[in-house]
Structure formats: structure tokens, C-alpha cells
Structure 1
Amino acid sequence: MKQVTKVFWISLVISIIFVLWGVISPKMLESVMSVSKSFFLVNFGWYYQLIASFFLIFAIFLIFSRYGKIKLGKDEDKPEFSRPTWFAMLFSAGMGIGLLFFGVSEPISHFSSPPVGEGGTVQAASTALRYTYLHWGFHAWAIYATIALVLAYYKFRKGLPGLMSATLYPVLGERVKGPIGQVIDTIAVFATIFGVAASLGLGAAQINAGVSYVFGIPNNFTVQLIIIGIVTLLYLISAGTGIRKGIKYLSNANLVLALLVFFLFLFMGPTVFLLNLMVTTFGGYIQNLPSLGLRLAPFNKTDAAWVQDWTIFYWAWWIAWAPFVGTFIARVSKGRTVREFVIAVLVIPTIVCVIWFAVFGGTGIYMEIFQNVKVSEQSLETALFFVYQQLPLAMVLIVLTLFLISTFFITSADSATFVLGMQTTNGSLNPPNSVKIIWGLVLSASAIVLMLSGGLNAMQTAIIVSAFPLSFVLLLMVYSLLKSFREEVKSKKKKHVQQQKV
């Protein structure tokens, strides 16, 4: 424990207080979180919309800018991982559990209760998928790409600690080493805890729903508690093996399993319909991207509430996940250029998400429209398994999916313990196992408390509230990066001119 910083102890104490609060008085915590959620959604929805759009515009700017050739590392550095492994690692850490949890349930939810117009229509089907792409597409990955880029640049090119505070050195100077820096890193720690804890809660709920379908086990909090306990043990074992073994192997396994489930689902469903639907709705998403990403519905309270509960929540979730996913992606991206990095992180995962939701969500919508199967009457947790039951090889799909959710669960938590370890040991690339174990236990305890204090609603609140202060830190990081980029380009030009004179 010699490597830990003040941020570790401050964050740990506050985490323990939060967990105890949830255990001793879950109803009180639920009430406080409900009021907080309403306050931020109603009063700052416009802000979340603007900042998410800003990150997308900034990421596109970086691809075409003169800074694209700058390397995330020294000029002679080579990438540490192959491209397939690199992609598998960034994707598994990014959205694994969410894709399975929301793959069918989100599009079918938007289909039955669309943001505009009447539910259950052909128009509602197209709108449902466009909004699902919006929530999981370019905006989300632009946030990840930008923050990961900043962290990777300062860590591998400038040799600074892999901390959020360290990236602000060009703006704040030596103050990043004092109380201001500690506050920044503590905010990042809590955003990571709440963002990941929400995903762990979703994962436990869906694993429970799946085993309930297969084995008739009750679908309740007690079973979910047992699931979290078992998976906690597994990901702590994985975390102890380090990033080159546990996370790497699990990430590759996740990718293979996800592809297997995807292709089974695609070819056993209405394949041609799904491919046509994907092309059509993706075109609509691209065509309407600016208006979709800035819609707030100020004249209609019902539509405004929909935007707040879905779109604004997602922007807050991705912002809250940014330190976690950003730190992890940065850690495995040494040696890439700015242009290669941003294109890969922004475009490839977005396309994968579009294909995934078109196939899974499109199948649910197809069953509703053409087969009169009431997928929309299922809960978010059970919609996927209900659709499986309508297909051949249902049991094979269910078992594979349960295993995949579990490995995504382990990978996300494993990666999170590594990132939290980095954030609380002054950016160490190999934080002690004892630190990772402590944060692993805190993550599981936080997930349990959120489930006990209001379930999905409590998870959404924790994300939205923690993302708000963090968003200002992320904006400062962008300004700091641009300042350093300009200075680097200016220095190179000056050096080039001097060489020509010689």
C-alpha cells in the first residue's frame, strides 16, 4: 500500500460512507437520489446535449486536423497490441454488458413508446432504431475517444502520470500536484465507481433473468446479490493476473462469443429484412444526426421527459464512464497516431453498435409487426430471452448469452479495478493487487447499494450527478490538449526552419 496517494484514502472513506448510508437507510438514499436526478435532468438537459455534441465535433476535427500525425508515444514507439486484440480490448471495456441488456429492449421500448408520434407503427420502428444508434453511436464514442486521447498523449508522449489531473498541467501548472489535482482525481474516481456499478447492476439483473428462464430460479434481489458475489470473486482473480493475461484473454474470448451469438441470431432471424432495415435506419441516423443530438422538446412535457430519461441519461452515462474507458483505452493504445486512434475508436465501434442493434432490436420489432409477438410487454431484463424463445436453438443462445454477459461483467469490472488502481496510485501502469482488490469490493458494494436503493432509477441518478462536475474537467482537458498540440506543432516548425538554415 506504499504506492497509494491521498486520493485513494479520500475516495475510499467517502465510498464506505456511501455504502453504509445505502445499507442503513436505503429509503432515505433513494429519496435523495430521486430529487437529485430530477433536478439535473430538468435544469441541465440542454448542457448535456451541447457537451455531447461538442465532443463529436472535436473528434471529427482531430481526424482532419494537422495534429493527426502526432504519435501517442515517442516517434519510434510501436503499438503494444495487434489491431484485432486492441479493438477487442477497447470494445469489451466500453459497452459489453449494455449491448446485451439493451440490444432488444431499447429499440422495442422506443418502438412502443417513441419520442415523437404514435407507437407501434412503421414510422415508430425507424425512429426507434435511429434514436438507439444516437445513444450508442458517434456521440458516445467521441466522448471516449477524446478523453482517451488526452490521457494517452500526456502519458506516453509527455511522460506524465496517467491521471486526469496530470493532463491539466498546461492549464493549471504545479497546482495539479496539490488539493486542486486531488479534487479532480477524486471526481474521476467516483464517476468511474458509479458508472461501472450501474453496469454491474444491469449485468446481475440480466443474468438473473436468464437463469430464471432456463432453470426457474427466482428473479429477485437475493439471487442478484449471490450473482454479484460469485462474479466479484471471479473478476478479482482475473484482476490479479494483470492486463497482459486476464483482461487480454477475456477480451478476445468476449469478441469471439459475441460474434458467435450475433451470427446465430442474424441467420436464424429474418436476415434480409434485418439487413435492409439496418441500411435504411443508419442512413436516417446519419441524415438527422445534428437534430437528433440536440433535441429537447421544450413545448411538450411528455416528449421532454422521454429525452431526459433516455438521451440525457446516456450522455451522462458516457461522461461518467469516460475516466474508466478513457484510461483503459489509453493504456492499450501506445504507439498509435492521433488520426488512427480517433478513427478507430470513433468509427469502428459505432458501426458495430449499429449492426448489433439493427439485428437484435430489428428482430424484436419484426416479431411485433409481422408475427404479433408481444416483445414490448417484456421487462428490459427479459426481452432478449423472450425473443430467443421464438427462435430455433433457443437454449443454445440463452446459455451462450449468459456466459457472454458473465465474461463482459468480469472484463468490465476487471478493467475498472485496474483503472481505479491507476487513478489512486499516481498513474501506475501496474497498480498493486491489494489496491485492485479493495476497489473491486467497493464496486460490488456500490452496485448492491444502488440496487437496494431504487434499482435502475438509483443507478441513473448516481451517473447523472457524478457526470456533471466531471464534464467541466473534461472540457478543461480538451483545452489543455489543444494548447499542447499547438506548442508541439510550433516547436516542430521552428526546428525545421533551423535545420534548413544550417
Structure 2
Amino acid sequence: MTEKKSFFGKMDLPIFLISLIIMVLFVSLTMFQPTAAGETFSAAQKFITVNFGWSYLLGVSLILIFTLLVAFSKFGNITLGKDGEKPEYSTLSWFAMLFSSGMGIGLVFWGVAEPMSFYVKPPYGDPSSIQSAQIAMRYTFFHWGLHPWSVFALVGMAMAYFQFRKGLPALVSSTLYPLIGEKGVNGWLGKLVDCLALFITIFGVATSLGLGAMQIATGLNYAYGISASMTSIITIIIVMTALYIIAAVSGIERGIKFFSDTNMVLVVLIMGTLVIAGPTLYILNGFTETIGAYLQNIVQTSFWADTFNTNPGWIGSWTIFYWAWWVSWGPFVGAFIARISKGRTIKEFILGVLVAPALMSFVWLSVMGYSALHVDVIQHGDIAAKVAKDASTAIFAMFQYYPLASILTFMTVLVIATFFITSANAATFVMAMLTSGGDLNLGNGLKITWGLSSSAAAIALIIAGGLGALQAAAIAAAFPFMIVMFAMAAALVKAFNQETNRERVEPQVNNHNATIT
């Protein structure tokens, strides 16, 4: 480890240099050979989804089961910190930061686009029917519900436990300490795990940055007639990059917390406006009905792999893509929520991370999804047709059917921008942490370096094939991290058992000593 009293602060020089060189090569090759790069990403996505799609379905479902079992087990009362430590943030601010960093841009992008896509092209059943509308909302809830948050909960729990309770560096490799020991964590295996976490964070964030920039460009086109060209999208990424680097440099308290609180207010205003001005009863009934359908079908939906290929490509393009996307977000969202969750018990942490953001996601999806479905199913509108041409137009196309469309469009562009800054800010912090040996007092040079790298990767992927390239990169990058996550679960169980066994033994030893004395 090289300690530098400089602009870059503390730095793990081998991980920093190796990771940066590989990223520069990747971005350069992708930009100079975009067609070949796009074909390579597509081939990798097809190979993984066809041959290993089942592993994503099985793996993420097992992670959800594991986190729930831990929450309600004897380990649930363990504090993510020293005994007696209290949480640093209020519960409301904690929820806001969880939601903003974990979902953000994706929910705004897919809140209308996904239900409308499933309405006309459902996983099964008749398209453009009442049945397909019901299935559309159920699957949308499924993709944004408990499963993704269980991925974040596992990584976050492991990092918080080993960082705040055991005093290990804030690194992904530290979560494997009970399995590989100090020598393994500090050796080549630990470095490999941290490099992997860094790379999939970059690709996961690049996917979200690309989606956000595409949607901001579309919103500006709807509101002000500004061209949603490739140049516009790249310009938006550059401007947003400058803003989130400024936020990252300003620090977590002033940066992420401010933007998280701001975009939660904007989200509530947008939803409130639609509920009041839109089909209120339709939205409330739909929310209630879909919650029930989601819970009733969660087991079957979790393990459906379309064995008989009744709808070729659907499961790979949607569920497997989402599960890979959430896994690719695992290191940075997990590390970030670990950072803001010090002092909470494991049970409080898991239930808070699983339930509160998922419920908030369901509310948003119900307002957006049922407002759009009401237009196409009841009023025979054309939102689904516009989504089929360009998914980034979805939410803005829906606003055109409701009052205050221009105000809602402006507010949504603002929400995307703040979500953009919040997610990228959190990711920049985590990437800098991974290349600083787990230091929490980071140098601005590291934050700027990885902030620029994420944006360069997003621009490269946009040039190489847009949405398809973004999805393919997320799926390919996430695959090896699934193995690391299962190792995390095993390491946690071993560490928890050692701790609870020691707690049972120590009082007996103390009493024995007292008797002797």
C-alpha cells in the first residue's frame, strides 16, 4: 500500500494502475471500433443468457431467501458496528439515500416503458389484452421488488459487518476474510476480487448513465424541441459528469444527502400530480391488485426459465438482464448502503433495505404504469406504439395525455438529473474507496479519475450500440460476481456463528474465574 499525502490521497497503487490501464484500453477500443465492440457485447450477452441464464434466476432467488432467513434468525440482533453504536442518519434520510442510489434513473426510464412493453409483448398469454396488462404490472413489480434489493442487502450487510464490527478495510475482499484469511485478503485473490468489483461497478453505472442521458435528451426534445441526437446525449453525459464530480468532491453529507432529499421531494410531487389529475381510482385499485398478484406468484415467477422456449428471447432480454444489472450494481450500492448504515442491527438493516425501497418502487410503478395503461387500454391511445420505437420516450409520451404535461416533463428531467448525480456520486465514492485500500477519507483525485472513467465507458457503450450495448455490458460484467456473492454469504454465516458461539462461552468463563477468585 502506498500512502500519498497528495491530491489523490491514500492509494492502492497496483489496483489503481491495473484498473485504469484496462479501462483506458476498453474505452479506446470501443470508441475506435464501435461496430466490432457492439457485436462482441451482443455475442457475450447471447452466450451467457442462453447457457447460464438459469444461474441468475436461481442465484438471485437464493440470495433473497438467505437474507430473509438471516433477518429472522438468531443473528438478527447483531449490530453493524460496535455494541451500543447508534445510526448516523435519521431513518427518513436513510430511506431517501437507499432509494436514490439503488434505483433512481432506472425507475424513471422503465416506469412507463416496461409495463407498456409487456402489454404488447407479454412473457405469455395474448398480447394487448386485459390479461397482458395484468401480467405486465405483475412482472414489472417483480423486476423492481424484493429480489434486487436482496442483492444490495447481502453485499451491504457483509461490507458493513466486516468494516464496522470487525474493523477491516472497506473493501469487497474484506467480506471473504473468514474463508481466505488475512493472507488471502491482502494477496492476489483479494486484489482480484476488488478489481472485479471495480469493473462491474463501472459497467453497472455506465448502463444507468447511458439510460439517464438518453431520457434527458428525449425530455428536452419533448419540452423544448432540442434534438435528441447522439451529440446531445454525449453532451448531457459530459455536463452531468461535471455536476456529479462536484457533488462527489463536496463529500457524502453535503453531496449525496442533499440530492437524495431533493429528488425524493420531486418524485412525490410528480406522483401526487398524476394521482390527482389522472385516473385516481384506477391507480389505487391497480396498486392493491398488483401487490396481491406479486406476492401470490412470487415463487413461480422467480424460477420461471421458459424451458420450452414459448417466447424466445423474452426471459433473457428482461428478467436475466435485470438480475445481471442488479448484480453489477451490487458492489457499489452495497458498499454505499453499508457506509450509511453503521449502527443498525442486521434485522433492521435487512428489512429496511428490502421493504421500504421496494414499497416506494411499487408506488411509483403503479402511478406511472397504470396512468399509461389507462390511456392505451381504456382510451385506446398509442403510448405502447411510441415505446416500441424508442423506450426513452415512454414517460413523456404518457404525460401528453394528462394536464400540466410541460411542467411534469420539466420536473421529470430534473428528477433524472438528480438521480443521475446521486447514483454516479455514490458509485464514484465506492470506486475511489476500492482503489484506496478501503480508506473512507478519500482524495479528490481518485473521485475525479473514476467519475471520468464511468462517463467515458457510458459514452463508449452508447457509440457502440446504445441500449443494446449497455444491457450486454451489464450482463457480461456481472456473471463472475455471482460467485463472489455466494462466498460472501458463506463467510457471513461462519463469522456470525463464531460470534454467537463466543458470546455463549464467554459468560461461563467469566463466572468460572469469579468462583476461583
- What corresponds to 1:262 in structure 2? 271
Displacement of 1:10 in angstroms is 1.1
- What corresponds to 2:432 in structure 1? 421
Alignment counterpart, residue 11 of structure 2, candidates 4, 8, 11: 4
Alignment of 1:31-180 (within 5 A): 31-173=39-181, 174-180=183-189
1:402 aligned to 2:422? no
Alignment counterpart, residue 280 of structure 1, candidates 267, 289, 296: 289
Secondary structure at the aligned position of 2:392 is classed as: coil
Alignment counterpart, residue 252 of structure 1, candidates 248, 261, 265: 261
Instruction: Quote the Cα distance in structure 1 between the aligned partners of 2:86 and 2:283.
Output: 40
Contact 2:9–2:444 (8 Å) recurs in 1: no
Instruction: Quote the Cα distance in structure 2 between the aligned partners of 1:296 and 1:321.
Output: 23
Displacement of 1:500 in angstroms is 4.6
Contact 1:45–1:312 (8 Å) recurs in 2: yes
Displacement of 1:2 in angstroms is 5.2
- What corresponds to 1:459 in structure 2? 470
Contact 2:9–2:445 (8 Å) recurs in 1: no
1:360 aligned to 2:351? no
* Cα shift readout 1:186-223 (whole Å, capped 9, x = no counterpart): 00001100000000000000000000001111111110
Alignment counterpart, residue 235 of structure 1, candidates 244, 258, 266: 244
Secondary structure at the aligned position of 1:116 is classed as: coil
Instruction: Quote the Cα distance in structure 1 between the aligned partners of 2:68 and 2:174.
Output: 25
1:384 aligned to 2:395? yes
How high is the TM-score relative to the length of structure 2? Answer: 0.96
Contact 1:163–1:422 (8 Å) recurs in 2: yes
**Amino acid paired to 1:448:** I
- What corresponds to 1:332 in structure 2? 340
- What corresponds to 1:491 in structure 2? 502
Instruction: Quote the Cα distance in structure 1 between the aligned partners of 2:324 and 2:422.
Output: 22
**Amino acid paired to 2:285:** N
Instruction: Quote the Cα distance in structure 1 between the aligned partners of 2:81 and 2:58.
Output: 31
Displacement of 1:430 in angstroms is 2.0
**Amino acid paired to 1:322:** G
- What corresponds to 1:18 in structure 2? 26
Secondary structure at the aligned position of 1:36 is classed as: helix
Gaps of 5+ in 1: none
Displacement of 1:400 in angstroms is 0.6
Instruction: Quote the Cα distance in structure 1 between the aligned partners of 2:96 and 2:430.
Output: 17
Displacement of 1:11 in angstroms is 0.8
Secondary structure at the aligned position of 1:293 is classed as: helix
Displacement of 1:380 in angstroms is 1.0
Contact 1:176–1:182 (8 Å) recurs in 2: yes
Contact 1:201–1:451 (8 Å) recurs in 2: yes
Alignment counterpart, residue 382 of structure 2, candidates 374, 377, 389: 374
Contact 2:206–2:454 (8 Å) recurs in 1: yes
Contact 1:425–1:431 (8 Å) recurs in 2: yes
Contact 1:88–1:251 (8 Å) recurs in 2: yes
1:473 aligned to 2:484? yes
Contact 1:49–1:315 (8 Å) recurs in 2: yes
Secondary structure at the aligned position of 1:234 is classed as: helix
Instruction: Quote the Cα distance in structure 1 between the aligned partners of 2:20 and 2:250.
Output: 23
1:216 aligned to 2:225? yes
Displacement of 1:28 in angstroms is 1.1
**Amino acid paired to 2:131:** Q
Displacement of 1:253 in angstroms is 0.6
* Cα shift readout 1:474-498 (whole Å, capped 9, x = no counterpart): 1101100110000000000001333
Instruction: Quote the Cα distance in structure 2 between the aligned partners of 1:303 and 1:52.
Output: 22
Contact 1:296–1:304 (8 Å) recurs in 2: no
* Cα shift readout 1:343-384 (whole Å, capped 9, x = no counterpart): 000011111111111110111111111111111011210110
- What corresponds to 2:3 in structure 1? none
**Amino acid paired to 1:408:** F
Contact 1:298–1:304 (8 Å) recurs in 2: no
**Amino acid paired to 1:218:** S
Alignment counterpart, residue 303 of structure 1, candidates 311, 321, 324: 311
- What corresponds to 2:205 in structure 1? 196
* Cα shift readout 1:371-429 (whole Å, capped 9, x = no counterpart): 11111011210110011111111111011111111011111111111010111101111
Instruction: Quote the Cα distance in structure 2 between the aligned partners of 1:264 and 1:28.
Output: 46
Instruction: Quote the Cα distance in structure 2 between the aligned partners of 1:399 and 1:166.
Output: 43
- What corresponds to 1:433 in structure 2? 444
Instruction: Quote the Cα distance in structure 1 between the aligned partners of 2:212 and 2:46.
Output: 25
Instruction: Quote the Cα distance in structure 1 between the aligned partners of 2:394 and 2:184.
Output: 50
Instruction: Quote the Cα distance in structure 2 between the aligned partners of 1:274 and 1:245.
Output: 36
Instruction: Quote the Cα distance in structure 1 between the aligned partners of 2:61 and 2:507.
Output: 37
Please provide the CA RMSD for this pair.
0.9
Contact 1:165–1:184 (8 Å) recurs in 2: yes
Contact 1:165–1:185 (8 Å) recurs in 2: yes
Secondary structure at the aligned position of 2:304 is classed as: coil
**Amino acid paired to 1:133:** F
Instruction: Quote the Cα distance in structure 2 between the aligned partners of 1:244 and 1:10.
Output: 31
How high is the TM-score relative to the length of structure 1? Answer: 0.99
Instruction: Quote the Cα distance in structure 1 between the aligned partners of 2:33 and 2:435.
Output: 29
Contact 2:240–2:417 (8 Å) recurs in 1: yes
Instruction: Quote the Cα distance in structure 2 between the aligned partners of 1:31 and 1:319.
Output: 23
Secondary structure at the aligned position of 2:313 is classed as: helix
- What number of residue pairs does the alignment pair up? 501
Instruction: Quote the Cα distance in structure 1 between the aligned partners of 2:442 and 2:37.
Output: 32
Instruction: Quote the Cα distance in structure 1 between the aligned partners of 2:49 and 2:451.
Output: 30
Alignment of 1:335-346 (within 5 A): 335-346=343-354
Displacement of 1:30 in angstroms is 0.8
**Amino acid paired to 1:179:** W
Instruction: Quote the Cα distance in structure 1 between the aligned partners of 2:84 and 2:125.
Output: 56
Instruction: Quote the Cα distance in structure 1 between the aligned partners of 2:135 and 2:127.
Output: 10
